[in-house]
Chains A and B, each alone.
Chain A
Amino acid sequence: VGQPEMAAYLTHQQKVLRLYKKSLRHLESWCIYRDKYRYFACLLRERFDKNKDVKDMVKATELLKAGEEEFWANQHPQPYIFPDSPGGTSYERYECYKIPEWCLDYWHPSEKAMYPDYFAKREQWKKLQRESWDKEIKQLEEETPADGPKTEALPPARKEGHLPPLWWQYVTRPREIPM
């Protein structure tokens, strides 16, 4: 929730755009200096733009396949990965400090007294979660198709006064950088 949810298949446009972005990133890993990168990036853009208006899907898919193979042959062995992306140097670095929210129930009363307004509201929030859980499950069961869900997206709340399904996990998720 809050990030794009996966669907069961990709459209042709999505595949082409993913190829374009991938090849630009690997080009950036090869051509370190910005002026050289800009030159080759413009050439690459022109190659993609030349075939922009192909309406025949068979031909378009063949072009895409040829493009993917060319990408595989020319990729960089150590592409630049942003530090917080999967495979980067700081990815999941602070995962060990992300504690689940039920640990807050085990705090000593003296520690809870340091945050009185939060803990005063916390009991009400937990009561709300207990009450809405059955309704959330019922909504999910009704809305899922018979042979499994088609996408990872969760549906919004449909009725007045209901809460969206599985909202508690989203609301109580830890911060990205816990410190």
Chain B
Amino acid sequence: MEPTLLFNVSMLITMTIIITPMLLPLLSKKLQNSPTTITHTVKTAFLTSLVPTMLFMHSGMESIISHWEWKFIMNFKIPLSLKMDQYSTMFLPIALFVTWSILQFATWYMASEPYITKFFSYLLMFMIAMLTLTIANNMFLLFIGWEGVGIMSFLLIGWWQGRAEANTAALQAVLYNRIGDIGLILSMAWLASSMNTWEIQQTFSTTQTPTLPLLGLILAATGKSAQFGLHPWLPAAMEGPTPVSALLHSSTMVVAGIFLLIRTHPLLANNQTALSLCLSLGALSTLFAATCALTQNDIKKIIAFSTSSQLGLMMVTIGLNLPQLAFLHISTHAFFKAMLFLCSGSIIHNLNGGQDIRKMGCLQKMLPTTTSCLTIGNLALMGTPFLAGFYSKDLIIEKLNTSYLNTWALFLTLLATTFTATYSLGMTLLVQTGYTRMITMPSMNENNPTITNPITRLALGSIMAGLLITSYITPTKTPPMTMPTLTKTAAIIITMLGIILALELANTTHTLTQPKQNTYLNFSSTLGYFNYLTHRLSSMKLLNNGQKIASHLIDLSWYKKMGPEGLADLQLMAAKTSTTLHTGLIKTYLGTFALSILIIMLST
């Protein structure tokens, strides 16, 4: 069969397979979904999506399909166009593989939920929106996917809606994403007005794009990918069930912002201001998140801050003008981060809901498979040579070291890499080793294949994915070939420093000195005081100013001071000054007569 036809058709079949469980129950009463059918659907879609990927790896085939066009205005075309370039072709099977594993895990994790089918349908809706975003060539279609993932994130974080914290977390996610959406809409408006198209490949030109629309795109990425400034929603999003955290807030949704910047990278490539902004923002985000993760005690929050830190690293890569490397990091990160979340989910369920690492210990003996995969995931996260994270993370740090860029961003990123090693090893030591510190003796059982199969599959992916992807994808930019030995081994050395720091901290917790609060601990525990400073201040200011404008500016000023009452006051002032002359004494009046006659006589 002709390759192009095979390529396009298999991609469309993948999308159709994903949409089928949403449509079939509407058509007939008998065809109802169940968790197993949805899992099998996603598995089939994954296998089908391997076809375009194989074709791409074999011959470098890419395609753009333009379907139906929304005939809205004469001059402006909005076609439903889908693009399968190296990014979409690689991301589709990876996202579907991770989703399949997570759905299989969720059949065990959410087994006691009354509305489990609704949960799975929500996850599937999210997947549809995410894949729409990935293969969209048109900014309009991308925006539909963008909003779709935002809404599904809201519904899934607030899954247990009886819980007040879950509702506030969902609201935080939606509001912070909305602020980012403002940037995206502004950029889309600029694109529509200046380039007259929303097709991504038609917007590229060699001339420099003005900075303002690029700022809009960066704002959108800040909101969606939780960079510093719009980051608090990501740790708060851990209120949702663990499969939601694994799928949305580690592998797929939060990379949508970075993916947008990857798609539009030729616009960014010429504008050095935008690139420097990306670099600085990414460096700040990665260090801030790594600092906050050092003192967290909830296992899901540690992994959430780890995600936030890696997203900052991806933003740094965008700032270095290396979109392909950023995409490689997205792909490898998806595997080991999802696996870390699934392992934490297994631990949490086996401990009857306990998420605090202070009350875990010696889990290596009790949950061997889960903890082995947790170790593999943490090693991959730290960038251990030849595991998945190494191929992307080491390359990023090498490139950062060998570029002519600001040293401050470099220093922050290296420090964040050290902290990554520290908190990963700290978490591993507290969770898995030592004597047990659990409060009760729950009956632990991980021998269910629904738990072990997804986790081991993702472990295999964490080990092999980096090697596989780099072997088959040709880089578009030449990587740095020669550098001093210190630069080459910088990443390994600072990771070792981080490991030594973690072991030192573990030793000090064993000594008999009573720990107390200090400034650095407080800064890290309260997440940099950011939530306390901004969450009340900005909303109170906004609402107060809105009220002032509505009541004082409009009612008080316009209707009163500028209008009738102001005129009346002026009149009153004039009248008051002139009433002093109305004394009522004859002498005054005779004096005024005399004065006026004098003036007339003098003037004539």
Contact = CB atoms under 8 A, between A and B. Distances in A.
Contact of A30 (B295, B359, B515): B515
Interface stretch (B144-152, B520-528, B569-577): B520-528
Given A36-B512, A96-B160, 19 more contacts: A30-B514, A31-B514, A33-B434, A73-B517, A75-B517, A76-B517, A77-B521, A77-B525, A78-B295, A78-B296, A80-B356, A80-B359, A83-B352, A89-B355, A90-B353, A91-B163, A92-B163, A98-B162, A179-B113
Contact of A31 (B435, B515, B525, B526): B515
B510 A74 contact: no
A96 B515 contact: no
Nearest to B239: A89
A30 B517 CA distance: 10
13 contacts: A30-B514, A74-B516, A77-B522, A78-B297, A80-B297, A80-B356, A80-B359, A82-B439, A83-B353, A95-B162, A96-B162, A98-B162, A179-B112
Contacts of A125: none
Contacts of B531: none
Interface string A40-84: 100000000000000000000000000000000111111010111
B457 interface: no
Nearest to A87: B165
A107 B510 CA distance: 59
B164 interface: yes
B298 interface: yes
B114 A97 contact: yes
Interface of A: 28-34, 36, 39-40, 73-78, 80, 82-84, 89-98, 179
Contacts of A84: 353
B161 interface: yes
Interface in B357-398: 358-359
B430 interface: yes
B448 interface: no
Nearest to B434: A33
B285 to A, nearest CB: 22
Contacts of B525: 77-78
Interface string B163-200: 11010000000000000000000000000000000000
Interface string B84-115: 00000000000000000000000000001110
Interface string B133-166: 0000000000000000000000000001111101
Contacts of B517: 73-77
B345 to A, nearest CB: 13
B437 interface: yes
The 7 A-B pairs with the shortest beta carbon distances in the complex, nearest first, are A95-B162, A96-B162, A77-B525, A83-B353, A90-B353, A92-B163, A93-B160
A80 B358 contact: yes
Nearest to A40: B514
A39 B512 CA distance: 8
B109 to A, nearest CB: 14
A77 B515 CA distance: 12
Contacts of B355: 83, 89
A28 B514 CA distance: 11
Contacts of B509: 32-33, 36
A97 B162 CA distance: 8
B213 to A, nearest CB: 42
Contacts of A91: 163
Given A40-B514, A74-B516, A94 B353 contact: no
B514 to A, nearest CB: 6
A83 B113 CA distance: 18
Contacts of B358: 28-29, 32, 80
Contacts of A31: 514-515
Given A32-B437, A36-B512, A84-B353, A93 B163 contact: yes
Nearest to A33: B510
Nearest to A37: B437
Interface in B377-434: 430, 434
Contact of B160 (A73, A74, A77, A94): A94
A125 B276 CA distance: 73
Contacts of B166: 93
| Among A34, A89, A95, residue most surrounded by chain B Cβ atoms (within 10 Å) | A89
Interface in B194-237: none
Which among A32, A82, A84 has the highest number of chain B CB atoms within 10 Å?
A: A32
- Max count, chain A CB within 10 A of own CB: residue among B164, B355, B358, B521: B358
Contacts of B295: 78
A158 B509 CA distance: 58
A90 B509 CA distance: 28
Nearest to A178: B114
A40 B514 CA distance: 8
B437 A95 contact: no
Nearest to B355: A89
A91 B521 CA distance: 27
Contacts of A33: 434-435, 437, 509-510
A28 B356 CA distance: 12
A165 B509 CA distance: 54
Contacts of B297: 78, 80
Contacts of B435: 33-34
A83 B355 CA distance: 8
B298 A89 contact: yes
A32 B430 CA distance: 9
Interface string B331-354: 000000000000000000000111
Contacts of B437: 32-34
